Amino acid sequence: MRNEKSTEDVALGIRRRVFEHAMRNNGGYLSQACSAAEQLAWLYNEELKLGEPTLPMIPKPFSGVPSPSNPDYHTGAGYNGPFEPQFDRLFIAPAHYALVAYATLIEVGRMAPEGLEMFNQDGSSVEMIGAEHSPGMEVHNGTLGIGLSTASGLAYGRRLRGEAGRTWVFMSDGEVQEGQTWEAVQACAHYGIDNVLAIMDVNDQQCDGAMSSVMEVGDIRTKFLNFGATCVEIDGHDLSAMRDAVREPHAGKPLIILARTNPFQTMSILEERFPRLHYVRFKSEDERARFNTSIAADLGVKPVDYSL
Amino acid sequence: MVEMVSRPYATAFEKFAAGNPDILCLSADLTSSCEIDGFRDRHPDQFLSLGMAEQNMMSFAGGLGLAGFRPFIHTFGVFMYRRPYDQLMASIAYPRRKVRLMGFLPGVTTPGGMTHQSIEDISVMRSIPNMTILETGDATEVESICEAADSIDGPVWCRVLRGSVPRLFDTPLKVGEMRELATGDDVLVVTSGICTEEAMRARAAFAKAGLSIRHLHLHTIKPFNAQALLDHIGSVKHGVVTLENHVTEGGIGSLVAETMADAGVGKRLIRLGLKDTYAHGGSRPYLMKYYGLDASALVRGIEDLIGQSFGITEDDLSAVRFDDVHSLVKAEAL
């Protein structure tokens, strides 16, 4: 499935949707749209080999958690198409990027815009922290650091089954503070799991603020190399750099693409809120109005009428 | 004299898993300690060494489950839930992956002390939605644990005995059932795991002393047939004594207590096991004596319940030892 929009347009569309949503709801995960829009746009619009969605364009309401008494349970993976040997899989490891991921599904025609209206509403499957049953999600990743391990297990299993499809992980740089990330990389290196690929949004931010102030992680590219991955560092807003990065030979090793990004990209006024960018909730009507005017101008749209 | 079976898991797992490509054998650097070294050597295509990295191993196993495999994870039980609890929850239990968690060295069956003794695992697993819990009490149950675990549509926690294991039963472990080992009508004794053998010794002594004991052995702890237990409780005059290789909070003692309370049963219950304490390192017989998990402890518990002394001595209990040959078996190392 190839969208007819350019990837640049998809990225812009993602930011516009997240912006509009944040203005209407007096806050949201704005900075994640700034940093990650190109990565998710590139994955969905160009790189991932996915089938047609198997779930309704307008998401169904929450229909229960997995249990023996819930035989009709299914995850939200159907928005990425069916599980078939030739198709890729994608895990959104930092599940708090869900708003940005949902906006991406809409921009590439895999979910209806109405889906975003259900975001964080009681009884909705379009949850604030992406759950297994949320659109585009396949596993729970709200606990950071488990995504790459799960993907590695799936990739190893798919290799045993002779499947051609790859397993992709969208990661966040904060996850390198978790020991499990390194356990996963060493297991991939030990078993030569090279059908797992990750693109990491290296925006240097985490919940408490700049990573350097919370827990310095040093030169993560060298760390990944030393743990046995192939690792390429690029400008995370440069689509041609992504296209080149994925062509990096990585036989017998996982490929980790470090996408260095700007947490204020295309929304310069966000810098006022540094270093608390994780979830931006407006502190006053005045601030909300100023952000509305400024970001709308940056994104080339009219300010949002959030009085409705 | 009771038959002692050497390394029943080693034989049983290989017989069950070899040649089934959907079953993978995972290990975390305790391969020979979990009796799967022979399997590793003879079936390398089904074996994964995941190193001392349990957090990754749990999520990795979840990923294998997503790909349609049924991983059997082997390590000491304690290493499968304390450190990687978050991964156990998010990657295995919530999504109901068919991961079989083979936890070796339950409770005080290891001289390794606090860091090696899983004394609260049943309590933890009972509170995890979607989890099934099985516990082996003899060689026959160890021999049938793989098939039983693999019949479950979801994750399964298994307490597995290793090394030299007595054979007490002649029928395999059937998920969901409980073993009725004696049908007396004075006191109901409910045991699991290695404590069942202790209760069999105590039972024989009480039979001589004229007290009639009804004895249930639980190998399936979750799901649990509450009505079957209530029927047995209804069949005894005095009350219930439980004995388990686990803390008394959250294990089978709690399970029985909850069942009785839910049904409004007004009989007495005495719960024996580790009483809100960690254990330390030592031999199994020493630890079972020291912490009150053995036949003598059960005798005292039953006497407390009845309010009467039966004059049963250590000599009486050793006269009916089922595990004479235990003393010939080298104390298990790590």
User: Is residue B284 within a helix (H) or strand (E), and if so which, with residue range?
Assistant: helix B284-290
Residue B253 shares a structural domain with residue B190: yes
CA distance A89 to chain B (A): 11
| Rounded CA separation A57/B15 (Å) | 48
Instruction: Say whether pLDDT at B20 is over 80.
Output: yes
- pLDDT confidence tier of residue B321, bands split at 50, 70 and 90: low
Contact A154 B67 (CB under 8 A): yes
Residue B287 shares a structural domain with residue B208: yes
**Tell me, what's the pLDDT at A142?**
86
Residues of A with CB under 8 A from a CB of B: 65-68, 75, 132, 138-143, 145-146, 149-158, 160-161, 179-180, 183-184, 186-187, 190-191
B334 part of a folded domain: no
**Tell me, what's the pLDDT at B230?**
98
Query: Which residues in chain A touch residue B95, judged by CB atoms under 8 angstroms apart?
Result: 66, 75, 132, 139-140
Burial class (CB in 10 A: 0-12, 13-18, 19+), A216: exposed
Instruction: Say whether pLDDT at A132 is over 90.
Output: yes
The position carrying tokens 């021999």 is B143
Please state the pTM of the whole predicted model. Answer: 0.95
Instruction: Say whether pLDDT at A249 is over 70.
Output: yes
Angle B252-263/B226-234 helices, nearest 10 degrees?
Answer: 80
**Chain A residue with minimal CA distance to B57?**
A149
Residue B12 shares a structural domain with residue B123: yes
Q: How many residues belong to chain B?
A: 334
CB atoms within 10 A of CB A58: 12
Q: How many residues belong to chain A?
A: 308
Task: Using CB atoms, pick whichever of B21, B50, B87 lies closest to residue A146.
Answer: B87
Q: What are the structural domain ranges in chain A?
A: 7-64+75-299
CA distance A144 to chain B (A): 10
**Chain A residue with minimal CA distance to B87?**
A146
Query: Which residue, B166, B193, B220, sits at the end of a domain?
Result: B166
A vs B: CB pairs below 8 A: 109
Domain enclosing residue B146, as ranges: 4-166
Contact B64 A156 (CB under 8 A): yes
Residue B13 shares a structural domain with residue B149: yes
| Rounded CA separation B44/B38 (Å) | 10
The tokens for A223 are 């760390």
Contact B60 A184 (CB under 8 A): yes
| Rounded CA separation B208/B212 (Å) | 9
Contact A132 B129 (CB under 8 A): no
Task: Using CB atoms, pick whichever of B55, B58, B153 lies closest to residue A179.
Answer: B55
How many domains in chain B? 2
- pLDDT confidence tier of residue A96, bands split at 50, 70 and 90: very high
Provide the CATH number for the domain around residue B284. 3.40.50.920
Helix-, strand-, coil-residue percentages of chain B, each rounded to 5? 40, 20, 40
Query: Which residue, B131, B166, B201, sits at the end of a domain?
Result: B166
Secondary structure E strands in B130-267: 132-135, 156-160, 164-166, 179-183, 187-191, 213-217, 220-222, 239-247
**Average pLDDT score over chain B:** 95
The C-alpha angle with vertex B115 and arms to B113 and B118, in degrees rounded to 5, equals: 85
**Tell me, what's the pLDDT at B327?**
42
Residue B83 shares a structural domain with residue B142: yes
Half-sphere exposure of residue A76: CA atoms within 13 angstroms, side-chain side: 35
- pLDDT confidence tier of residue B331, bands split at 50, 70 and 90: very low
**Average pLDDT score over chain A:** 96
| Rounded CA separation B289/B282 (Å) | 11
Residue B266 shares a structural domain with residue B236: yes
Give me the CATH topology for the region A7-64+75-299: Rossmann fold (3.40.50)
Q: In what order do the strands lie in the sheet with B132-135?
A: B47-49, B23-27, B70-76, B100-104, B156-160, B132-135, B220-222
Handedness of CA B90, B95, B100, B103 (dihedral sign): positive
Q: Which residues pair with A210 in a beta bridge?
A: A205
**Chain B residue with minimal CA distance to A161?**
B67
Query: Which residues in chain B touch residue A169, judged by CB atoms under 8 angstroms apart?
Result: none
**Tell me, what's the pLDDT at B315?**
86
Residue B156 shares a structural domain with residue B205: no
Residues of B with CB under 8 A from a CB of A: 21, 48, 50-51, 53, 55-56, 58-69, 86-87, 90-91, 94-96, 129-130, 153-154
Task: Using CB atoms, pick whichever of B59, B60, B96 lies closest to residue A66.
Answer: B96
* Prediction ipTM score: 0.96
Task: Using CB atoms, pick whichever of B56, B94, B130 lies closest to residue A149.
Answer: B56
Provide the CATH number for the domain around residue B34. 3.40.50.970
Amino acid identity for residue A105 in this structure:
L
| Rounded CA separation A174/B301 (Å) | 54
Burial class (CB in 10 A: 0-12, 13-18, 19+), B83: middle
| Rounded CA separation A239/A42 (Å) | 7
Instruction: Say whether pLDDT at B330 is over 50.
Output: no
B332 part of a folded domain: no
pLDDT in tens, B269-301: 999 999 999 999 999 999 999 999 999 999 999
Q: What is the dihedral of CA B50, A183, B68, A42, to 10 degrees?
A: -150
Residue B122 shares a structural domain with residue B237: no
Instruction: Say whether pLDDT at B319 is over 70.
Output: no
Residue B185 shares a structural domain with residue B317: yes
B288 part of a folded domain: yes
Contact B91 A150 (CB under 8 A): yes
Residue B152 shares a structural domain with residue B210: no
pLDDT in tens, B25-74: 999 999 999 999 999 999 999 999 999 999 999 999 999 999 999 999 99
B236 part of a folded domain: yes
pLDDT in tens, A25-56: 999 999 999 999 999 999 999 999 999 999 99
Residue B120 shares a structural domain with residue B13: yes
- pLDDT confidence tier of residue A3, bands split at 50, 70 and 90: low
Task: Using CB atoms, pick whichever of B58, B67, B95 lies closest to residue A139.
Answer: B95
The tokens for A180 are 């499990």
B88 part of a folded domain: yes
B172 part of a folded domain: no
CA distance A154 to chain B (A): 4
Residue B97 shares a structural domain with residue B11: yes
